[in-house]
Structure 1
Amino acid sequence: MAHVAEPPDDRAIQVAFLARLGSAMLGADYPVTVVRRALIRISAQYGTTCPLLVLPNFIQVGDGAQTKVANRDRPLRYDQTFPVGELVHKAERGLITAADGIAELDRIRAMPKRFPAWVGVSGCGVQSAAYALILQPTPAALIAATGFGLLVGVLELITGNNDGVRQLLPVLSAFVVTYLAFSLGRLLHMGHESLRVLIPPLILFLPGVAITLAVIEASTGQMVSGAARLMTGLLNLAQLALGIVLAIQVLGLSSFELTDAARNTFGPWAPWLGVAVYAVGMVLYLGPPPGFAPWLVLVLFVTYGAQVATAGAVGGYVSGFGGGLVLMICALALGRLPMTPATQVVLAPGFWLLVPSSVGLIGIAELAGGSGGDAVTVMLVSIMSIALGFQIGMAIWSIFPHRESWVEDSSS
């Protein structure tokens, strides 16, 4: 396909567009291998092939007098990742000029949210209720998780315009939720249920995506990027751990009160209902385009079904392997269909549903009471199993010939 014709003196604009587009892709949590490959294709379309350096929080395009350096964009909202994916698709095919691409990036950054703020807060409550149905389907857990989810949504709304305070939100939320959960657990004699009640509202802050991408990038030779993402994910987990441990110590809880045991008083249908409720919560909280809802439901049920099937076949510790494998293949297949979002956009909901780090939070809470040391190891095994599922899914997909694919030789 012929590339977009632009005057030779527009090379500086083309380099600037490549840098800004790469920064936006990093802000949308694209793996660095995918960002680099996309920029190489786009620069070839413009006839401005130039050196590239792509890291999780930094990008450099070009050399000499026309070098453009950009830091990683602020994390994009989920609804903003849809037009970014469409822009990448157009640019890779030479269907948009660099100047128009820069204008489109400005438009994407200025996009208003689909729903008002109170809808997003309610979405937090609905998502938390969904995780309660999946992790601990009991009436007390469902009510408490919904209330704590709404509380976390309010805290996120209040701190939304203050970057400094927002960085402390995981610690603050973990402390408040843990303190209230265990205090109510004592008051209402909920006992061990309080431990699982504190997990659903905190899943919003879990670093499962960052840690899983770190494993994938490190295994494909991107050691610097993988190490950077891993440290970021572990830091986020440490913030949550600090909030939980502080609340536990303030309350003076004993290891007996921290005993964890799953319960299901609703029935085996409850987790499946939780997946559907989770889809509703994601729509309210993230505000994706209306046409994405059917694909969202499909991806979530396929991913969860694969996870349950794997758990039944080989055990729960590696259930994420089956979920990750099927999710990757499903996302790659949907990404090739007309009128469907980019592969990266389809992957994100499944990432969050797998929630491997919830096991780690339970283990950290138990460690504060002198027990539960094996749970952190289980968390790491869960994360590795999901990453392995993604890798094998990409390998299976790459076996078959595809004219254009999200998965190609990572060394490109």
Structure 2
Amino acid sequence: MQGPALPAESTVHFVLDLALRIGEVQMASGAGASDVTATIIAVAGAYGMPHCEVDVIFTSITVTCQRGVDLPPVTAVRVVRSRGLDYTRLALVERLVRTITRNRVTAHDAHAELDRITNAPHPYPRWFATLAYAGMAAAVAVLIGGDALVAVSAALITALIDRVGRLLNRRALPFFFQQAVGGALATGCAVAIVGSGVLPSSITPTTMVAAAITVLLSGLSFVSLVQDAITGYNVTAAGRIVEVSLMTAGLIAGVVLALNIGVKLGLPSVPAVQLSSSLLRLPLQTAAGAAAAACFALASYATPRSVVVAGIAGGVGAAGFSALVLAGIGQTTASAVAATVIGFAGGVISRRLAIPPLVIAVCGMVPLLPGLTIYRALFELAVERRYTGLSTLMVATSVALALAAGVVLGEYLAQPVRHGLGRLERRLSGPRLAGPLRPTRRRLE
């Protein structure tokens, strides 16, 4: 007995190219290997190619279409050459995938639409992203205990770091050195501002540096790293571990270099003391977490709807984390619980709002990244010369992994709930007659 006939060989090549390009956009945006694999298989199956094998590693995607025992398989490879956050592009691609899997668009029309999506400019100008990063740093500074002057200083430092990083990126400087320059600028500028006497003597560089470090950490794919490791994509997870470790090492090197130079020059170097939380600051911390998440979504070119939802997720995460810390729960456990709530909520509402779950998860956990803990660890190592900095650095690592693991766990817990809601919605809506698809105007929102 023979199975369904496959399309012509030229069509097979065309569909594989379409599926690979969709997978490339997802990988470049930080999606997990399991999500990329499922998307490619779904796109290929929608166009009559149900027997495909997909191999995703950190830098390339390979797809093989099996054509039975009489014909050789067709294999196509796509290399992921560049990575960058553009959540509007990711949302449009995922909407295109839903249209493809519902058999509402031909392969040629889908290919043309994908060309328009990938070649479209960012929805916001680059300077707007710089302002968004600055706003994120200001919000994080308030979240961890800074006042208005500290928030403004953190915003100015972060804007400078982003513009310098943009210039270095144009020069094709490796990201390790870009992170090192960013860490050195964050620490050096904060120490110089405090040492200049412009700000009151009671203000320390701790909060400013921690806010800038949080912004520099926000671009690292912690969620995808943990997701790939949990789902069995070990090669891809290993590649992400190397990338995250190398970029974090560059950040550490820059901060330590600036701290040592500051000590040699006699500039003020105040220990990074963990700021205490209070019940009175909980509403302010909630608002700051929401602002930080929304600003990161804007800096990542998210749609307006995604920005609002990301802000709500960030506020909920910051409120939950702060409340758990006030209740006496440790930082790592509180981070894991808050991230699980964010991942669960994002997994449940993302499909209803047509927002990629990755956007809600990543933006929601960004305000909780351990920038202050990392700075405290580096200060203990570089200035105080105490080995306790190693244990503090391990705490920061455990917090980052707890955040990522919590988000992944929340998304997995949301899957049965999402499927149940989908079945209930179909049951309540009843059967509907298929009609012609109405043309829609393409929008970047």
Task: Place the TM-score, normalised by the shorter chain, in its bin.
Answer: 0.7 to 0.9
Partner in structure 1 of residue 138 of structure 2: 129
Change over 3 Å in CA distance of 1:155–1:404 after alignment to 2: farther
Do the aligned partners of 1:207 and 1:233 also contact (CA within 8 Å) in 2? no
Partner in structure 2 of residue 34 of structure 1: 35
> How many Å separate the matches in 2 of 1:44 and 1:351?
34
Partner in structure 1 of residue 95 of structure 2: 86
* 2:369 partner letter: V
Pairing partner for 2:338 from 303, 323, 333? 323
Q: How does 1:3-402 map to 2 (within 5 A)?
A: 9-48=10-49, 49-62=51-64, 66-76=74-84, 77-164=86-173, 168-188=177-197, 190=201, 193-206=204-217, 209-252=220-263, 257-263=269-275, 268=281, 269-279=283-293, 281-282=295-296, 284-313=298-327, 314-337=329-352, 339-356=353-370, 358-369=372-383, 370-371=385-386, 372-400=389-417, 402=419
Q: Relative to structure 2, which stretch is displaced further, 268-277 or 170-179?
A: 268-277
> How many Å separate the matches in 2 of 1:365 and 1:70?
43
> How many Å separate the matches in 2 of 1:400 and 1:277?
29
Structure number with greater Rg is 2
Partner in structure 1 of residue 436 of structure 2: none
- Normalization by structure 1: what TM-score? 0.86
> How many Å separate the matches in 2 of 1:265 and 1:317?
16
* 2:76 partner letter: K
Secondary structure, aligned partner of 1:244: helix
* 2:204 partner letter: E
Cα offset for 1:263? 4.6
Number of residue pairs the alignment of both structures matches? 401
Do the aligned partners of 1:311 and 1:317 also contact (CA within 8 Å) in 2? no
Can you list the C-alpha shifts for 1:293-341, whole angstroms capped at 9, x where unaligned? 332222222222232233334222322111211111111111221x431
Partner in structure 2 of residue 409 of structure 1: none
Change over 3 Å in CA distance of 1:289–1:393 after alignment to 2: closer
Partner in structure 2 of residue 410 of structure 1: none
Structure 2 gap segments, 5+ residues each = 66-71, 423-445
Cα offset for 1:279? 4.7
Can you list the C-alpha shifts for 1:156-197, whole angstroms capped at 9, x where unaligned? 343453333666322112112211212233333757821231
Cα offset for 1:40? 1.6
> How many Å separate the matches in 2 of 1:403 and 1:270?
36
> How many Å separate the matches in 2 of 1:308 and 1:265?
7
* 1:322 partner letter: V
Can you list the C-alpha shifts for 1:224-272, whole angstroms capped at 9, x where unaligned? 1222111111111001011111112222269993411245899614322
> How many Å separate the matches in 1 of 2:408 and 2:213?
27
- Normalization by structure 2: what TM-score? 0.80
**Identity in percent:** 19
> How many Å separate the matches in 2 of 1:284 and 1:34?
24
* 1:71 partner letter: V
> How many Å separate the matches in 2 of 1:100 and 1:290?
27
Structure 1 gap segments, 5+ residues each = 406-412
Do the aligned partners of 1:137 and 1:263 also contact (CA within 8 Å) in 2? no
Change over 3 Å in CA distance of 1:180–1:391 after alignment to 2: closer
Partner in structure 2 of residue 408 of structure 1: none
> How many Å separate the matches in 1 of 2:246 and 2:40?
30
> How many Å separate the matches in 2 of 1:357 and 1:202?
5
> How many Å separate the matches in 2 of 1:335 and 1:98?
26
* 2:105 partner letter: I
Q: Relative to structure 2, which stretch is displaced further, 262-271 or 280-289?
A: 262-271
Do the aligned partners of 1:126 and 1:280 also contact (CA within 8 Å) in 2? no
Secondary structure, aligned partner of 2:56: strand
Change over 3 Å in CA distance of 1:291–1:396 after alignment to 2: closer
Do the aligned partners of 1:328 and 1:393 also contact (CA within 8 Å) in 2? yes
RMSD (Å) for aligned C-alpha atoms: 3.1
Secondary structure, aligned partner of 1:336: helix
* 1:54 partner letter: V
Do the aligned partners of 1:121 and 1:154 also contact (CA within 8 Å) in 2? yes
Q: Relative to structure 2, which stretch is displaced further, 153-162 or 376-385?
A: 153-162
Change over 3 Å in CA distance of 1:154–1:395 after alignment to 2: closer
> How many Å separate the matches in 2 of 1:332 and 1:23?
22
> How many Å separate the matches in 2 of 1:219 and 1:394?
13
Change over 3 Å in CA distance of 1:229–1:190 after alignment to 2: farther
Q: Relative to structure 2, which stretch is displaced further, 221-230 or 127-136?
A: 221-230
Secondary structure, aligned partner of 2:272: coil
Cα offset for 1:59? 0.3
Secondary structure, aligned partner of 1:193: coil
Change over 3 Å in CA distance of 1:366–1:104 after alignment to 2: farther
Secondary structure, aligned partner of 2:170: coil
Secondary structure, aligned partner of 2:104: coil
Secondary structure, aligned partner of 2:378: helix
Secondary structure, aligned partner of 1:62: strand
> How many Å separate the matches in 2 of 1:192 and 1:96?
59
Secondary structure, aligned partner of 1:59: strand
* 1:111 partner letter: A
Cα offset for 1:103? 2.3
